[in-house]
A and B are shown apart, each in its own frame.
Chain A
Amino acid sequence: MSVLRLDGVSKNYGRTEALRDVSFECEEGEFFTLFGPSGAGKTTILELIAGIKDGYSGRIEIKGRGAEDLAIQDRNVSMAFEYYALYPHLSVGENIAFPLRSPRAQKLGEAEIARKVQWTADELGIGHLLDRNPVQLSGGQKQRVSLARALVRPADVYLLDEPIAHLDAKLRSIARANLKAMARNLGATILYVTHDFREALGLSDRVLVLNEGRVLQIAEPRDLYHRPATDFVGHLLGDPAMNLVDGVLVDTPDGPVFEAAGIRIALSDALIDEARARLARGAADIRLGVRPSGVAVSADAVEGATGLPVYTVEHATDHALVYFRIGEAYLGGTAPFGSPLSTGDQAWLRLKDGAGFLFDASFALSASSGMKEAAR
């Protein structure tokens, strides 16, 4: 039986539609992530489940019971907030112990409480801070205290809202692994909210991609990455970002090719059949999606490759990223580390075997900073 089930949940704020027909189920012990740009409606879903917000249509079930039949205090859910909400007059240890001392909690001895608090804090790397006051902590430390407070007690579902977003990059990488290991040790069912694709892919059993209140895809991380349902999903996942170029499919004697701004790019074998099918039904307009790792760039002419001037080159510690302009779009590909290519040089690009996606365009690419910002 699923621990949590949403069926056709919609929610409006006045005339603004926050959620539209959201349905999903979490299995017991599952790490389930709501992933999407800010404003997608992720936090609203958590708040409806926790009972912090109400007034929705559709159905929410926790362990088979309708949420509308459960008073807030009877929903056995535990939530950690992005903005901590710690009690300033209590020590870190007392903040974490707080849910265990609640009158509704199972009665525990002081030694047992101390043990649980210490274990939880240690797992999250804040075991040495228990005697501190919250005001003495950094944002990242406060956030882990808030997370520990949520995880210290048993709950049917843990609702975690961007719980490590305020840690710096190095700490986040450690916290991510700690959190995942801890979730498994607890056997906890976790509903996790993030806009960070690394957390979504790295932590989750399954990921729900949300945008503008609508579900775009629900899938396991590898499926999501290798088979994104839309251009938007592809664009959100991966670093460097997937290239998206608008153009048309053109039938040639050698088979279908992609063309944009007068530039032709040969399709990988994986795309040929789909391209033929699209051409056969007269759907030539296309958005080509391909990750930079799927575009090989060389300084020498290669059979079937497209020659273009280099827009600019970026470096990483094990490869170079070479960018081209195709009309208004940018297309990046990979070259070996130490590639001599630089701005203005002629280079050759081709799609690697199996690389690329043919999408119907679902959002505007050009210039729209509002959209790009929403797509974080």
Chain B
Amino acid sequence: MTVLSLRNVWKIYGGDVVAVRDASFQAADGEFVALLGPSGCGKSSTMRMIAGLEDISRGDILFGEEVVNQLSPKDRNVALAFESYALYSPMTVRENLEFPLRSRGLATDVITAKVAEIARTFQIDDLLDRRPSKLSGGQAQRVSLARALIRDPNVMLLDEPLSHLDYRLRTELRVRIRRIHDELNATTIYVTHDQEEAVALSDRIIVMNHAEIQQFGEIETLWKRPVNRFVAGFLGDPAMNFVDVRLTDGRAVAAAGDISYDAGIGNGQAVLGFRPEEVDIVAAAEVDGGLKGEILVNEFHGERCVLTVDSGSGQLKAVDRGDSPWRAGDTVALVLRPEAVHLFDSDTGLAVRHGTEAQT
């Protein structure tokens, strides 16, 4: 039962390279929190400090009320699964899995049962008698993950635990990770660069970039009210469309004149954003003026289709249903939904407006 808190935590390498800048957040007891960001954003450094594998340059990390800055990794009672696995090479897979249980003095039949169960969960039951050197990268990663989760930890720290697996297996196994979390009710921090994985698994997501936490919130908040252009563009595939606009007397107008949106605010330059999923696609003839263009490509992906539209405001993406009637070469109008249009400051990238609400 652990609330995990970071208070103004910094990681500075070599005196001047800031890997983590003033990070503060609190994960509730039993919460599943994703640390999401591109490579080099500081998410792994943050995780390694929580695990005790790196010193904290400044600030405090607390498990419950206790500051753990000085505690060694094993005294923090955390389960660690890292992208680079570190299995014990002289031992078989079975012995690797048994190891954390033996050190806790469990009975042999309990150990055997737990190993069998976790091996089935992560689809490694046919690998139990192999040594780590005989495993593929993806297999070794699953063994590492199984070993971390076999011991009923209070806190699970998982750093890209599925990154070496192919897509199919990754989507299957993440369901089981979430299930294990739900059973143990262990506070979980999950590092990933994959926004879809973060959305699928987490109760809340921390988005990091350039060593700083950009936003911490529930999926719906990040989706509808991203604090800046980075967060807006990082979540979602295909990514949010961005178009430069000029604000004049409360209207945001694109250079090509094909977007005109009642922004209700200010003057000067801004960036207008809308998600490919949140635009209506209609025949060009049905609309006077507005955002129109020729469909360059209509990609069928099964449940949905992704259109690339060559508009006066650049190449834009729009998502349609799987039975999309449009073909490459058709001209369509993209009708923005006022409640799903975002405006960002051109210089700072900060959100100034979401839909019909201004940001303060």
Query: Do A and B truly interact?
Result: yes
B72 to chain A, nearest CB (A): 33
Q: Which residues of B contact A330 (CB under 8 A)?
A: 172, 175
User: Complex formed: what's the CA distance from A316 to B195 in Å?
Assistant: 10
Known: A169-B237, A293-B303. A367 touches B126 (CB 8 A): yes
Residues of chain A at interface, number, CB under 8 A: 51
User: Complex formed: what's the CA distance from A166 to B300 in Å?
Assistant: 21
- Are the C-beta atoms of A314 and B168 separated by less than 8 Å? no
Say yes or no for B182: interface residue by CB 8 A criterion.
yes
Say yes or no for A103: interface residue by CB 8 A criterion.
no
Say yes or no for B123: interface residue by CB 8 A criterion.
yes
Known: A202-B306, A315-B219. A222 touches B300 (CB 8 A): yes
Helix, strand, loop or mixed for chain A's interface?
A: mixed
- Are the C-beta atoms of B178 and A202 separated by less than 8 Å? no
Q: Which residues of A contact B96 (CB under 8 A)?
A: none
- Are the C-beta atoms of B126 and A369 separated by less than 8 Å? yes
A-B interface pairs (CB < 8 A), number:
130
- Are the C-beta atoms of B300 and A221 separated by less than 8 Å? yes
- Are the C-beta atoms of B300 and A202 separated by less than 8 Å? yes
- Are the C-beta atoms of B127 and A369 separated by less than 8 Å? yes
* CB nearest to B198 among chain A residues: A315
User: Complex formed: what's the CA distance from A338 to B220 in Å?
Assistant: 9
User: Complex formed: what's the CA distance from A338 to B315 in Å?
Assistant: 32
User: Complex formed: what's the CA distance from A372 to B125 in Å?
Assistant: 13
Interchain CB contact (< 8 A) of A317 among B166, B175, B219:
B219
Q: Which residues of A contact B284 (CB under 8 A)?
A: none
Which has the most chain A C-beta neighbours within 10 Å: B142, B199, B219, B303? B303
- Are the C-beta atoms of A177 and B308 separated by less than 8 Å? yes
- Are the C-beta atoms of B178 and A314 separated by less than 8 Å? yes
User: Complex formed: what's the CA distance from A53 to B211 in Å?
Assistant: 49
- Are the C-beta atoms of B220 and A316 separated by less than 8 Å? no
- Are the C-beta atoms of A372 and B297 separated by less than 8 Å? no
- Are the C-beta atoms of A312 and B308 separated by less than 8 Å? no
Say yes or no for B89: interface residue by CB 8 A criterion.
no
- Are the C-beta atoms of A202 and B301 separated by less than 8 Å? yes
Known: A181-B296, A343-B182, A367-B126. A373 touches B301 (CB 8 A): no
Known: A342-B182, A376-B166. A198 touches B126 (CB 8 A): no
Q: Which residues of B contact A222 (CB under 8 A)?
A: 300
- Are the C-beta atoms of B302 and A239 separated by less than 8 Å? yes
User: Complex formed: what's the CA distance from A369 to B194 in Å?
Assistant: 23
Q: Which residues of A contact B172 (CB under 8 A)?
A: 241, 330, 372
Which has the most chain A C-beta neighbours within 10 Å: B139, B199, B202, B302? B302
B337 to chain A, nearest CB (A): 14
Say yes or no for B136: interface residue by CB 8 A criterion.
yes
Q: Which residues of A contact B236 (CB under 8 A)?
A: 317
A369 to chain B, nearest CB (A): 4
Say yes or no for A184: interface residue by CB 8 A criterion.
yes
Q: Which residues of B contact A323 (CB under 8 A)?
A: 175, 179
Q: Which residues of B contact A372 (CB under 8 A)?
A: 123, 168-169, 172
Interchain CB contact (< 8 A) of A314 among B166, B167, B175, B235:
B175
Q: Which residues of B contact A318 (CB under 8 A)?
A: 277
- Are the C-beta atoms of B238 and A173 separated by less than 8 Å? yes
Q: Which residues of A contact B220 (CB under 8 A)?
A: 337-338
Say yes or no for A262: interface residue by CB 8 A criterion.
no
Known: A239-B302, A241-B172. A373 touches B166 (CB 8 A): yes
User: Complex formed: what's the CA distance from A344 to B179 in Å?
Assistant: 10
User: Complex formed: what's the CA distance from A156 to B169 in Å?
Assistant: 38
- Are the C-beta atoms of B169 and A370 separated by less than 8 Å? no
In the complex, per-residue mask of A181-204: 1 if CB is within 8 Å of any chain B CB, else 0: 100100000000001111001110
User: Complex formed: what's the CA distance from A176 to B1 in Å?
Assistant: 46
User: Complex formed: what's the CA distance from A337 to B139 in Å?
Assistant: 34
- Are the C-beta atoms of A312 and B178 separated by less than 8 Å? yes
Say yes or no for A104: interface residue by CB 8 A criterion.
no
In the complex, per-residue mask of B287-302: 1 if CB is within 8 Å of any chain A CB, else 0: 0000000001101111
In the complex, per-residue mask of A207-246: 1 if CB is within 8 Å of any chain B CB, else 0: 0000000000000011001000000000101111100000
Say yes or no for B88: interface residue by CB 8 A criterion.
no
- Are the C-beta atoms of B175 and A312 separated by less than 8 Å? yes
Q: Which residues of A contact B277 (CB under 8 A)?
A: 317-318
Q: Which residues of A contact B200 (CB under 8 A)?
A: 314-316, 321
Say yes or no for A368: interface residue by CB 8 A criterion.
yes
In the complex, per-residue mask of A360-376: 1 if CB is within 8 Å of any chain B CB, else 0: 00000001111011011
- Are the C-beta atoms of B138 and A373 separated by less than 8 Å? yes
User: Complex formed: what's the CA distance from A178 to B91 in Å?
Assistant: 49
* CB nearest to B119 among chain A residues: A367
Say yes or no for B283: interface residue by CB 8 A criterion.
no
- Are the C-beta atoms of A177 and B123 separated by less than 8 Å? no
Known: A312-B178, A317-B236. A376 touches B171 (CB 8 A): no
Interchain CB contact (< 8 A) of A373 among B136, B202, B328:
B136
A92 to chain B, nearest CB (A): 23
Say yes or no for B335: interface residue by CB 8 A criterion.
no
- Are the C-beta atoms of A369 and B123 separated by less than 8 Å? yes
Q: Which residues of B contact A313 (CB under 8 A)?
A: 178
Say yes or no for A107: interface residue by CB 8 A criterion.
no
- Are the C-beta atoms of B299 and A203 separated by less than 8 Å? yes
Q: Which residues of A contact B237 (CB under 8 A)?
A: 169-170, 173
Known: A315-B200, A376-B167. A369 touches B124 (CB 8 A): yes
B221 to chain A, nearest CB (A): 12
Say yes or no for A24: interface residue by CB 8 A criterion.
no
Say yes or no for B174: interface residue by CB 8 A criterion.
yes
Q: Can you name 12 A-B residue pairings with CB atoms under 8 Å?
A: A177-B299, A177-B315, A180-B299, A198-B301, A201-B302, A239-B301, A239-B303, A293-B303, A312-B176, A312-B179, A368-B126, A376-B166
Please give me the 4 A-B residue pairs with the lowest Cβ-Cβ distance, nearest first. A202-B299, A376-B166, A343-B182, A369-B123
Contacts A176-B297, A225-B322, A376-B169 known; list 4 others, CB within 8 Å.
A173-B306, A181-B297, A181-B308, A314-B200
